[in-house]
A and B are shown apart, each in its own frame.
Chain A
Amino acid sequence: MKALRMSDELFRKRASEEDGCMVSAIGLKPLFGNREGTSGHRGELAREPVRLAFSTLISYRRRALRLTMETLAEKANVELDELLRIEDDAEYVPEPRTVHQLASELKLPIPQLLVLSGNATSANAELTDAAVRFAARSRAVEKLNRDQSDALNEFVKVLVEQMVGVKKK
């Protein structure tokens, strides 16, 4: 970590200011994981991360293919504004047509992408689990680091394996 630390003199002052205080903080909107005093249904917990996984997947896949937002928007014939919302707004549900075009440009399976984007439902627990894990692992930092690349690769692998499974059926 970079050295962003206060001087000893300032720390003494701050530490004295802390004396008598009860220092605590509590998170309110966990995306994932266990929370004391809460008991949500798995499906309810999963919905937001699944949609988050879609945003992240589009963003990472685009970056992995070294496409700018403008380039992808142009190639997929999607409005740049819409692509921005897809990557940035986890509550936005894009039109199925948009999902089709992005899937084909990014070489991702369409049925799974429709589920992740909120356009279709699926009782496929494996896909949900993979999406939740991907979302949980991946939205850490702006840079696509090794962990994120691994997460992307693992998730794409699950999507592709599912596609193969569907075709076999």
Chain B
Amino acid sequence: MSSRRKCSLKAPNSDVLVEAQLIDELSKDDLVRAHLEWAPVRLEALKRLYEEKRGWPEHWHWDWSKKADMLDFLAFRCMGIEHEGRMQGLMMLSTVAGKSRLAGQIGKAVLYIEFLETAPWNVRDLVGTPKFLGVGVRLLEAAAEFSVDEGFGGRIALHSLPQSDDFYRKYMTDLGLDSSQSQGLRYFEMSAEQMRIFLEGRKP
């Protein structure tokens, strides 16, 4: 059953924290609604980027309403952060245990993030001034909690789009280009220790 808890987001030009809500289990309708809200904003941003002869984000074509059918399976769960009824970020998790590729942890269960995206109005490159900062951080935090709760020991894994490599490299281990696929994406893992550092800001 879906539940909500408070989680704050950061205002872009100050230290003010704004109260939002983390929803730990979204419905298919939630994803469709998020897509309907995000698509026009993204489209406007793409038009502007085109006119300015700037590159488009690599995930410009994503459509969360098309990912909604994944929720027919218990193997997937989608979380989101909402503020005043608008979805600020989405994350699709696979609850099918992946296997760690990190040295010393090889074979241990790892929580795999299938998709993660922040709302277009929270991305500086798309809108100039983002509405909120820290949506991606909050989603990673929620993934870490879920990983612990579900017995994955806090371990998280994902494939990053190249535009996001630098963000994940701050908190996770970059295991390089994934030779098992041809899309040229890098594979990242957060170990249990890295999870604690991510959440506590220091080595335990």
Contacts and interface: CB of A to CB of B under 8 A. Distances in A.
Interface in B163-190: 163-164, 166-168, 170, 178, 180-181, 183, 185
A22 B163 CA distance: 6
Interface residues of A, number: 45
A14 B134 contact: yes
Given A6-B200, A140-B96, A23 B15 contact: no
Given A18-B136, A24-B164, A36 B96 contact: no
B148 A2 contact: yes
Nearest to B158: A25
A32 interface: yes
Given A11-B8, A24-B161, A4 B141 contact: yes
Interface stretch (A114-122, A141-149, A157-165): A141-149
Contact of B199 (A6, A16, A30): A6
A15 B134 contact: yes
Contacts of B50: none
A27 B112 contact: yes
B146 interface: yes
B62 A36 contact: yes
Interface in B118-144: 118, 123-125, 130, 133-139, 141-142, 144
Contacts of B89: 23
Interface centre among A4, A8, A13, A22 (most CB of B within 10 A): A22
Contacts, number: 188
Contact of B159 (A15, A28, A36): A28
Given A18-B137, A23-B116, A34-B67, A28 B181 contact: yes
A137 interface: yes
B123 A22 contact: yes
Nearest to B69: A34
A33 interface: yes
B21 interface: no
A122 to B, nearest CB: 22
Nearest to B124: A20
Interface string A98-128: 0000000000000000000000000000000
A5 interface: yes
Nearest to A21: B167
Contacts of B123: 22-23
A25 B17 contact: no
B112 to A, nearest CB: 7
Nearest 10 interchain pairs by C-beta: A15-B134, A23-B136, A27-B114, A15-B10, A33-B70, A21-B167, A136-B73, A25-B116, A140-B95, A25-B158
5 contacts: A5-B7, A20-B125, A26-B115, A34-B66, A136-B96
